[in-house]
Amino acid sequence: MWVRASGANAAQHLVDLWNSGHPDKIALTVIPDNQMVSKLAAGVQANDVPDVISFDLIYMPDFMRAGFLTDITDEMKADPNFAKVAPAFTHLATYKDRIFGTGFTPDVSILIYNKDLFRKAGLDPDKPPKTLAQIHEDAKKIHALDPEIYGFYFSGSCPGCNIFTTSPMMVASGAKILPSSSSEEPLAGTGVKEVLELFRDMWSEGLIPKSAQADNGANFVANFKGGKIGIQGAGGFLISDLKREAPNMDFGVTFLPGIEEGQVSAFVGGDVVAIPKGSKHAAIALQFIKWELSDEAQLEGLAKNNILPSRVDLADNKYFQSDPRIVTTAKAIAIGYVPWVFHFNDMVNSDASPWIQMIQAAVFDGKVDDSIAQAKAKMKAIAAE
């Protein structure tokens, strides 16, 4: 089995659990994140592939279209656990009505807030912001405490951070971000402009630290850990980080909100699992995939090790019940989205992508309408490739 480095810890727990109870053993090979795409492509062409593979879910459409993966539709549809997997995973692993993989080790975005700063600012620590406007209002009150304390934070030069934490606010507000074909309109809906204007206003008012503009993700959560940030979008991973590195901080977790109360979303990230074309032990690989969706794997392999399950029915499990913040994060997977799109790297993840250029021009230069129009045009051109 190949796994990308980012997902190696979670995958190791599952593989160890499988190996402890099955006669057929799995050997895990860790591949650097930035080498997985090229290594699989080369392996398929040379007929030298692993039996099973775990990779960043966002590459699923490209891999399916390229014919790199094995169709497992009938086997998955016959498995009752498959119907319980987060819809975002199933949507992303489907191509031309056929299924080529499923959820493996998820991550998901949430809104995290510093309850200590909420109290000091006269805000109710048990009432996190539920709309974009409330984020703005709460951020003002928090920054008013001290010039060195800021209401909000985001990494202004990190495309991946922003698709993970900023785009769900747009999606919650009814927007569609990326086109699944050249005929679809990217960045559609008023939510895109609403969120960019919120960020622009908070930037102009000094509610976001100046260092955010150049942050390429290196300090994505560092300022929050230091107790100087009131509110920000982050990933579920931050909960265990904060417990370990800032044990005295009282913090809360909620869903990323939209324009109106009740509008919520999340970006479902993490890894999918699939069987490459040419797998020499495809039958055992399929057994493993079906097993990893079982209660045993999801609870004893993932939840027991503070890793989110990909099955939405197991969000509120015995291992998470002692911390409602983890339950909330696990539940975010059920409401989350992930864009089904080709060329995700070109549209979003590259340092010069239309996605990050739009955010920077809108938030830091105030060119909200122009930035959206330019990003739309560039995304359409990429989708047509």
Q: Report whether 283 contacts 269 (CB < 8 A).
A: no
Query: What tokens were used for 308?
Result: 């989110």
pLDDT value of residue 305 = 93
Q: Which residues are CB-contacts of 205 (< 8 A; sequence separation ≥ 6)?
A: 140, 143
Q: Report whether 190 contacts 263 (CB < 8 A).
A: no
Residue 342 DSSP code = S
Rounded to whole angstroms, the Cα distance separating 320 from 327 reads 6
Beta-carbon count within 10 A of 369 CB: 11
The Cβ-side half-sphere exposure at 355, using a 13 Å CA radius, reads: 26
pLDDT value of residue 237 = 83
The candidate with the shortest Cα–Cα distance to 171, out of 326, 383, 332, 367, is 332
Residue 77 pLDDT > 90: yes
pLDDT value of residue 222 = 93
Q: Report whether 230 contacts 151 (CB < 8 A).
A: yes
Rounded to whole angstroms, the Cα distance separating 164 from 157 reads 13
Residue 311 DSSP code = B
pLDDT value of residue 238 = 87
Q: What is the pLDDT of residues 239-292, one digit of tens each?
A: 988 999 999 999 999 999 999 999 999 999 999 999 999 999 999 999 999 999
Q: Report whether 338 contacts 91 (CB < 8 A).
A: yes
Rounded to whole angstroms, the Cα distance separating 107 from 267 reads 8
**Residues in the chain, total:** 385
Q: Taking the complete model, does pTM exceed 0.75, yes or no?
A: yes
Q: Report whether 278 contacts 258 (CB < 8 A).
A: no
Q: What is the pLDDT of residues 317-374, one digit of tens each?
A: 999 999 999 999 999 999 999 999 999 999 999 999 999 999 999 999 999 999 999 9
Q: What is the pLDDT of residues 96-150, one digit of tens each?
A: 999 999 999 999 999 999 999 999 999 999 999 999 999 999 999 999 999 999 9
Q: Report whether 231 contacts 151 (CB < 8 A).
A: yes
Tell me if residue 10 falls in helix, strand or coil. helix
Average pLDDT, stretch 71-94? 97
